Amino acid sequence: MDGLAIDRQREACEKIAGNRGWKVDEDSYYVDQSKSATDKTKKRPAYDRMVADFKADRFDAIICWDLDRLTRQPRQLEDWIDAAEDRGLQLVTANGEADLATDGGRMYARIKAAVARGEVDRKSARQSAAQNQRARQGRAPKGVRPLGYATNGDVIPNEAKAVREIFRLFAIQNGPSIAALAAGLSGKTGDHIPKSLPHLPKHTRTLMMERNERRQIEGLDPRPVPDDGPWGSSTVLGILRNPRYAGYSVYTDKKNRINKNKRRTWFSQVLRDDSGQPVMGQWDAIVEGYTWHVVQERLDDQSRVTNRTGSTARKHLGSSLYLCGICDEPVRAHTRGYRCAGHLIRSRSQVDGFVLRIARERLSRLDLLDAVPLADEPRLRDIQLRILEHQGRIKRAQHDYDAEIIEGMDLKRIRARENAAIADLEVERLRLVGGSDLKVILGAEDPLVAFDGADVAIKRRIIDYFFTVSLFPHPRGRKAFDPSTVKVEPKRRSSTGTIGPLTQRAP
Ligand SMILES: [Zn+2]
């Protein structure tokens, strides 16, 4: 309420006091301006002071503008009704309808409080029905905007770029960990931190600044904004899990959200139409559907997630990748070198430096994307949808079992049948996306920057994709590196993924 309304209400109440011959103390005005009487969790300081004053026996009558200014919570109202009956508290409203001294007045007050309560419940039911309808129409959900999207669903380019890069990096086999992605967004540097991520302020901070801009337009004072801090892993995880980035319309019934398995919760957020097909949002997807699904699988697969910490990842570029030129067996890491027992031992820094130079040279060539077979994307999307459909059937069967509509035997049979179908689709998908994690690197805006920023595992994949590297013994006594002792040969590929003859072969 604005100040004028408060003044009007005060005058009306004072008039009643005057009519009844009641004396009003200076400090007996209880004004909670613009505070809801509905929300239990909202503090109403003046109301609390009034309760305390009543307990201290400092007044014996309450005049309020309207009952819903006093309280909209039936339980609080009952306390006042009890007080009216037990201690003779008089309560009148300025409109004269609720006088707790009379039976009729009490009944009126109770009905009014119950109606107010019901209105609140209906409002929240209406809101979730509206949310659900919005989602069914594929409209952007209301509420806090995710990184990359404006509230109306428009793509915010610089944020979308970061989102795309987060997905791209995480979709790569043995790519950076979630913590490394968070560190990259925070502008940190280090061996395992990808360099290709933009440094962004924390999303919560951006949201607070935007809220302050809106407040300024409304003529309100800005709220304090905390200093920028590092991105948290849970925020990055939330981004990787969000189906909206792949264009899926999402809806979560808050009541069903609690105590559910995380994985299920995320998949169940994808809204489906009556035939079980995912509803697509009207906004632009920031990542490809299959990239999103690859990321979900990586997140679900705990062993792969653990692998990302690097414990089992190869530390060196060429271990088990470079071949011994004499016996064609992979070389092993050995102190500061690569070794094939009895045949050779080479300096790691010299060989790696040479191989990396050739790899960078290859990546700087324009025919890069042609070198990687393009997956059949419409078919991939179709496979993803069909996998989701089969997963939906398993889920439905699980629900039916929980609801005792089907027997355990049926559930088992349905599960086996659907899982077999899913497995077939997975095989087809893997065949199609064979080079996809490679493609996400090679498709980067600047592949050289992406390559330099990539960790060892990714560099190994790139080198392995393009080249066969063979090492030969280095002539004894010669200190300078002899390039002819490292053979870097382009791999020959089938017609689907030809790479042309390389001109910059190692001598
Ligand atoms: Zn050998």
Which of 471, 413, 412, 460 is closest to 437 using CA atoms?
460
Place of tokens 């599960």: 415
> Which of the residues in the chain have pLDDT under 70?
1-4, 34-41, 95-98, 116-117, 120, 253-268, 275-276, 301-314, 366-377, 427, 430-445, 492-507
Using alpha carbons only, how large is the chain's radius of gyration in Å? Answer: 34
Whole-number Å distance, alpha carbon 127 to ligand 1 midpoint, is 71
Residue 369: exposure state from Cβ atoms within 10 A (0-12, 13-18, ≥19):
exposed
Residues 6+ apart with CB under 8 A from 329: 323, 340
Residue 40 lies inside a defined structural domain of this protein: yes
Judgement on whether residues 473 and 352 belong to the same structural domain of the protein: yes
Domain span at 411: 376-432
Residues 98-108: tens digit of each pLDDT: 677 777 777 77
Quote the CA–CA distance of 13 and 66 in Å, as a whole number. 10
Judgement on whether residues 237 and 353 belong to the same structural domain of the protein: no
Whole-number Å distance, alpha carbon 352 to ligand 1 midpoint, is 18
Q: Write out the H or E segment, with its range, that includes residue 379.
A: helix 377-402
Q: Write out the H or E segment, with its range, that includes residue 440.
A: helix 436-442
Which of 362, 420, 414 is closest to 393 using CA atoms?
414
| Residue 445: DSSP 8-state | S
Q: What type of residue sits at position 242?
A: N
Residues 69-89: tens digit of each pLDDT: 787 777 888 888 888 778 888
Which of 250, 282, 290, 283 is closest to 268 using CA atoms?
250
Whole-number Å distance, alpha carbon 155 to ligand 1 midpoint, is 54
Whole-number Å distance, alpha carbon 332 to ligand 1 midpoint, is 10
Quote the CA–CA distance of 55 and 464 in Å, as a whole number. 80
Residue 133 lies inside a defined structural domain of this protein: no
> Which pLDDT score, from 0 to 100, does residue 340 have?
93
Judgement on whether residues 190 and 298 belong to the same structural domain of the protein: yes
Judgement on whether residues 338 and 471 belong to the same structural domain of the protein: yes
Length of the chain, please? 507
Judgement on whether residues 390 and 366 belong to the same structural domain of the protein: no
Whole-number Å distance, alpha carbon 428 to ligand 1 midpoint, is 37
Helices 233-241 + 157-171 axis angle, to 10? 90
Judgement on whether residues 487 and 466 belong to the same structural domain of the protein: yes
Quote the CA–CA distance of 344 and 326 in Å, as a whole number. 9
Residue 366 lies inside a defined structural domain of this protein: yes
Whole-number Å distance, alpha carbon 474 to ligand 1 midpoint, is 13
Last residue of a domain, one of 65, 86, 121: 121
Judgement on whether residues 306 and 443 belong to the same structural domain of the protein: no
Whole-number Å distance, alpha carbon 471 to ligand 1 midpoint, is 9
Whole-number Å distance, alpha carbon 435 to ligand 1 midpoint, is 30
Judgement on whether residues 356 and 395 belong to the same structural domain of the protein: no
DSSP assignment of 397-410 equals HHHHHHTTSS-HHH
Judgement on whether residues 109 and 159 belong to the same structural domain of the protein: no
Structural contact between residues 178 and 236, judged by C-beta atoms closer than 8 angstroms: yes
Whole-number Å distance, alpha carbon 464 to ligand 1 midpoint, is 19
> Which pLDDT score, from 0 to 100, does residue 304 have?
43
CATH number at residue 45: 3.40.50.1390
Residue 201 lies inside a defined structural domain of this protein: yes
Whole-number Å distance, alpha carbon 418 to ligand 1 midpoint, is 48
Whole-number Å distance, alpha carbon 473 to ligand 1 midpoint, is 10
Judgement on whether residues 349 and 416 belong to the same structural domain of the protein: no
Three-class SS of 259-292: CCCHHHHHHHCECECCCCCECECCCCCCCCHHHH
Residue 50 lies inside a defined structural domain of this protein: yes
Whole-number Å distance, alpha carbon 276 to ligand 1 midpoint, is 57
> Please, which residues have CB less than 5 A from ligand 1, an ion?
324, 326-327, 340, 343
> Which pLDDT score, from 0 to 100, does residue 276 have?
67
Q: H helices within 289-376, ranges in order?
A: 289-300, 302-307, 348-363
Residue 507 lies inside a defined structural domain of this protein: no
Provide the whole-model pTM: 0.45
Q: In what order do the strands lie in the sheet with 486-490?
A: 323-324, 467-471, 486-490
Residue 184 lies inside a defined structural domain of this protein: yes
Whole-number Å distance, alpha carbon 338 to ligand 1 midpoint, is 11
Determine the Cα angle at 414 with ends 411 and 418, to 5°: 140
Whole-number Å distance, alpha carbon 74 to ligand 1 midpoint, is 85
Residues 6+ apart with CB under 8 A from 310: 177, 192
Whole-number Å distance, alpha carbon 475 to ligand 1 midpoint, is 16
Count of domains observed in the chain: 4
Whole-number Å distance, alpha carbon 66 to ligand 1 midpoint, is 93
CATH number at residue 163: 3.90.1750.20
Whole-number Å distance, alpha carbon 129 to ligand 1 midpoint, is 69
Quote the CA–CA distance of 94 and 6 in Å, as a whole number. 13
Judgement on whether residues 397 and 453 belong to the same structural domain of the protein: no
Whole-number Å distance, alpha carbon 457 to ligand 1 midpoint, is 23
Determine the Cα angle at 118 with ends 115 and 121, to 5°: 160
Please state whether beta strands 344-347 and 337-340 pair in parallel, antiparallel, or not at all (unpaired).
Answer: antiparallel
Whole-number Å distance, alpha carbon 320 to ligand 1 midpoint, is 12
Whole-number Å distance, alpha carbon 481 to ligand 1 midpoint, is 20
Place of tokens 């505070």: 35
Whole-number Å distance, alpha carbon 330 to ligand 1 midpoint, is 8
Judgement on whether residues 380 and 345 belong to the same structural domain of the protein: no
Residue 250 lies inside a defined structural domain of this protein: yes
Whole-number Å distance, alpha carbon 470 to ligand 1 midpoint, is 10
